[in-house]
Amino acid sequence: MTNAIIKTDFRFPKQNNVYKGKVRDVYTIDDRFLVMVASDRISAFDVVLPKGIPYKGQVLNQIASKFLDATADICPNWKIATPDPMVTVGHYCEPFPVEMIIRGYLTGSSWRSYKKGAREICGVPVPDGMREHERFPKPIVTPTTKAQEGHDEDISKEEIIRQGLVSAEDYEILEKYTIALFKRGTEMAAEKGLILVDTKYEFGKVADKIYLIDEIHTPDSSRYFYMDGYEERFASGENQKQLSKEFVREWLMANGFQGQEGQEVPFMSDEYVNSVSDRYIELYESITGEKFQKSDPSDALKRVEKNITAFLDENL
């Protein structure tokens, strides 16, 4: 676990800026490239947990890379290269200040709101009489603001346009891309015996061209159910067997933590941390159909820096 990367402090040639997100460290190079390092940090309820998860960054980066390649015919994306198992280098884009969340099933936070009486999510009406984990008649797009700090907030399409966060013309494109990407992701998941339950996409712009950016269809940005047994579990009211970060949220809630003021993150034992790592690797192998190849954990920071520097030396 000491080899989990939870922090980077690189200095690259022509580096303009660095942004440290909850999970990713993003370096801007020459206002041309974004170098995104998927760390082993893990967050839940918008809080970064105190311990890193071995191989999590590699899992996220490699899944995202595969899905970016597999959806490039639907919309342009930011990826240029993956010089290291934990790194993607791509086009520098100006991000839209919203996340495009799309849901195929009533579960997670949407179910928690529904159970409290909400019958509208981000301006989208939801019918009465639905049950947890039930499939919507068709997927619904439920965007959120993208907060620099604190919690993202639900917001409607109309409010996004009214506030000028995204123009009406651009929003139509974002929504079209979101629906098409989710359809492709759903089809690819089904081929592996999985259900893509919900996910989020982020987009950015270079000049007048919109790009899909950041990660796509990873366990941090998406929720998957196992298709086998879904109907039986739903009929009997059982919890679904799922591959997502929701199991971390459920563990935190069971231990009295939901990111609220005054709450403390429960102790994360080595055994628990390793179990989370195993779950991430399980998702990788399930969704890609490939055996996960663990990268060499010794001197991981030096390896990452060396591989990024080699790419930049060739491309700057």
pLDDT in tens, 67-115: 999 999 999 999 999 999 999 999 999 999 999 999 999 998 899 999 9
Residue 246: the pLDDT is 79
pLDDT-based confidence at residue 258 (cuts at 50, 70, 90): very high
Q: How many residues does the chain have?
A: 316
pLDDT-based confidence at residue 135 (cuts at 50, 70, 90): very high
Please tell me what DSSP assigns to residue 35. Answer: E
Residue 3: the pLDDT is 76
In angstroms, the CA 237 to CA 131 distance is 9
In angstroms, the CA 251 to CA 41 distance is 17
At 151, the amino acid letter reads H
- Which domains are assigned to the chain? 95-244 (3.30.470.20)
Residue 242: the pLDDT is 83
In angstroms, the CA 141 to CA 198 distance is 10
Residue 151: the pLDDT is 64
In angstroms, the CA 9 to CA 305 distance is 10
- pTM for the predicted model, two decimal places: 0.89
Is the predicted pLDDT of residue 203 greater than 50, yes or no? yes
In angstroms, the CA 53 to CA 268 distance is 11
Output the CA torsion 175→181→187→188 (10° steps): -160
Residue 109 burial (CB count, 10 A): 15
